[in-house]
Chains A and B, each alone.
Chain A
């Protein structure tokens, strides 16, 4: 089907029983999330054609790479594949590594100059891969994959072996790529914090099986999704910059149903900014607090209540009067839940103690996030 990445692999590979089926748009970043050894990397290898499961289906934007009758060999698939080890060719310079898979007749849609600039590779070009840092090596590996002009970029835990600083550079680089190249990405990670930053779609995996797939935001707020009851439950919202209060250094951000004030450096109005609101940072009260240090207090409606062990409850809250706005999560104790007499459908006030801005750079108006559920996460101009 055009416009979709369609994946279905089923069968035994080694000691892993794989049963994966999902379909995501060929726009933006699709994250595959799951604990280590759950088969995420195996899917990446199946998509690249490095593993051959006889019962598999793989099609990218209508181009079939594998079905019952066809199996395209890896070198015939327009894929950019980067694993957690950079695997640069040690006998070639950085520049010749970058150009290894580049088709000869220039110009190409993804140009050498663009890649060098996006990934800050200019100072490395003449070096040997043996004498650059692991973070630099990983960036070269991504650049090399991009220059082979792929239709799909698969990043398999590209941050796994990096230190904290290299990780930050890398995340910024991936964000730049997401923003500047119209190239679908599959991003594999076992760390939800990376995924919250730039994923648009999410595939959840456990022991070789896909347990849920869909837009990131709707999986984060769907009561049936395992993310909602996880320890690190949070929602990622794409907000629009609505202004700046210079006196107090507060950025005004609009999401559907709320206008948030966040201490941050100024950004131009209209910019898209991704927010992360953790369930632990949201509390609930029956009445509007009259005097409080919490800046962001909004009317909200309880959409769902989910028990978390015996002591805690996670609430799905829809912001705005009548609950018509964006959904967020709140983690409260069962004691508070019972003593406030909370129940589904009740109108309450949500207090957001902390809102983090997760992208390092302003994101241009996104052209992805195209499903209705994702749209509801976006700020409406009227909000």
Chain B
């Protein structure tokens, strides 16, 4: 095993860690955000909704650069980092988590928000007339009804983190073992003209992406069939 392979293993571990953490944060943050965006009719909700969708169209490199400014030593991220004695959040694992959360947020929020909009007010009104407090109605009716979309949202968030490249590269600085993710590794292989390894890696990611899309499609078909 040469140095490259050991680094690749390290990178895969890091990428999966990042994806799991990002997906968890996305679901925790995305759910209340999607709920609020689906229910509120205020101008503020419109504005927040637009900002959340921004990473969908903003070039990843631009997103990464914005984050670099925000998380660097002179931005709010740096001020935050100074609490535990660090200089900056840029080029750290925390930094790439922030980057991948922001780039995955539109996908996750949109999925969950769609589910909340599609179910309408009816189920929650019915729950209220059956003495369920808003909190109980949310957990016993809204969440279970949105379950297929949650699974889809989670999968998309996970896959997006593995696929995301530009923002993480810029904010993370591509430091092996700390912020270097698998997608960045492919570039190294190509630059070193190691086509065999590059093919394997690209092929693996292709299979993974296909599996994710297939799972999402299957879930959508099944849930549509069961909720006639």
Contacts and interface: CB of A to CB of B under 8 A. Distances in A.
A89 B123 contact: yes
Nearest to A86: B126
A50 interface: yes
Which of B129, B133, B226 has the most chain A CB atoms inside 10 A of its CB?
B129
B33 interface: no
A144 B145 contact: no
B145 A91 contact: yes
A50 B128 contact: yes
A101 to B, nearest CB: 3
Interface in B131-168: 131-134, 137, 140-141, 144-145, 147
A91 B125 contact: no
Interface string A56-100: 000000000000000001111111110001010111000000001
Contacts, number: 60
Interface residues of A, number: 24
B157 to A, nearest CB: 23
Contacts of B129: 48, 50, 74-75, 77, 79-81, 101, 145, 148
Contact of A144 (B130, B134, B141, B147): B130
A130 interface: yes
> Main SS of chain A's interface residues?
loop
Contacts of B134: 75
Contacts of A91: 144-145, 147
A130 B226 contact: yes
A78 B134 CA distance: 16
A101 B130 CA distance: 5
Interface of A: 48-50, 73-81, 85, 87, 89-91, 100-101, 103, 130, 144-145, 148
5 contacts: A50-B129, A75-B131, A91-B147, A130-B226, A130-B227
Given A90-B226, A101-B129, A130-B227, 14 more contacts: A49-B128, A50-B125, A73-B128, A75-B134, A79-B129, A87-B122, A89-B127, A90-B145, A91-B145, A101-B130, A101-B131, A103-B131, A130-B226, A130-B228
